Amino acid sequence: MSTLPPRAGRRCHNALNPLHSCVYFSPDLGKEFGELGIDDASRVYFAARGAALGAAGAGTVTATFYNFSHELVARHLPSVWSDISPQAALDARLRAADSTLRRVLGEETVASPEMAEAAGLALRAAEACTRHARPLYAAHADVAVPDEPHLAYWHAATLLREHRGDGHLAALLSAGLDPLEALVSHTATGKGMAPRWILATRGWRRTDWDAAVERLRGRGVLDAEGELTEAGTALRAELEEATDRMDAAPYEHLGADGVARLTELGRGFLFAAASAGAFPEDLVGKG
């Protein structure tokens, strides 16, 4: 029996996860990797997010990232590890996180008691994350926690993000959604990444997208206009509920008051970051 209000863990995740993700949209990440000789955007992303796995090949990263075309991943892995070591990639990502958070939140917020409080709460929640069947979380759990509170907060957000993400992939598999069907159906909710961003960054072609739409229509998930049917809406709701169940432990461990406070703090940081232009304006949507 849960001790938390309904969807409290999901709301907390939604407050923390984007602040982790904003680093991947930051010019600071490209700058750090560019100074190490890595300047292709996909190559930077796979190295930055995949480095915790070690010098992983394309198969491992395709499996753990789930919604990228294997063809795209294989163009960059494992060859990127001839240019940069996994540890150097982790170090570059952390430097980018530092400069990005200082820029979008401001030095006062970075050094605030609230940031230190949020870091403590998020790290406490992450104590209850589990490694089994969660490869991306488990890999990041072996990375040392940074000393500075804003980086400790970012690191904890990373742990909580990847923990939930690993569980979400299990839910997608159980629902029978392949990588692109997962993206298409999420976009159809109006809360997912816009198609132009998916096609530009995930390695899929428009013909791949259209084929996934047709498969989902055949299953009754999408209607003739590409909108979610009643069954499709229920499917997406069931996916999130299944993910919530697999991701409950960190938030149950933190407790209702701690989750409420962490969500409050996280939303404040996220609003400040968004107001400072941390995310592309056209990132989310159906168009």
CB atoms within 10 A of CB 173: 12
Across the range 140-157, mean pLDDT stands at 98
Beta-bridge partner residues of 286: none
pLDDT tens track for 3-61: 899 999 999 999 999 999 999 999 999 999 999 999 999 999 999 999 999 999 999 99
pLDDT higher than threshold 90 for residue 76? yes
- Max Cα-Cα span within the chain: 53
pLDDT, position 2: 76
Mean of the per-residue pLDDT values of the chain: 97
Average pLDDT, stretch 128-138?
98
- pLDDT of 140 > 70? The answer is yes
Q: Is the dihedral of CA 85, 88, 94, 98 positive or negative?
A: negative
Structure tokens at 286: 């159906």
Please tell me the pTM assigned to this model.
0.96
Q: Write down the pLDDT at residue 286.
A: 86
Q: Which tokens belong to 96?
A: 């980018």
Least confident of 55-59, 196-200, 264-268, 283-287: 283-287
3-state secondary structure string, the chain? CCCCCCCHHHHHHHHHHHHHHHHHHCHHHHHHHHCCCCCCHHHHHHHHHHHHHCCCCHHHHHHHHCCCCHHHHHHHCCHHHHCCCHHHHHHHHHHHHHHHHHHHHCHHHHCCHHHHHHHHHHHHHHCCCCCCCCHHHHHHHCCCCCCCHHHHHHHHHHHHHHHHHHHHHHHHHHHCCCHHHHHHHHHHCCCCECHHHHHHHCCCCHHHHHHHHHHHHHCCCECCCCCECHHHHHHHHHHHHHHHHHCHHHHHHHCHHHHHHHHHHHHHHHHHHHHCCCCCCCCECCC
**Phi and psi based region of residue 255 (left: phi greater than 0; alpha: psi -120 to 50; beta: remaining):** left
Q: Look at residue 7 in the predicted model and tell me its pLDDT.
A: 96
Q: How far apart are CA 241 and CA 245, in angstroms?
A: 6
Residues present in the chain in total: 287
Residue 175 has pLDDT above 70, yes or no: yes
pLDDT at 263 over 70: yes
Q: What is the pLDDT of residue 287?
A: 75
Instruction: Say yes or no to pLDDT of 1 above 70.
Output: no
Kindly report, residue by residue over 181-192, the tens digit of the pLDDT.
999 999 999 999
In terms of phi and psi (left: phi > 0; alpha: psi -120 to 50; beta: otherwise), the region of 226 is left
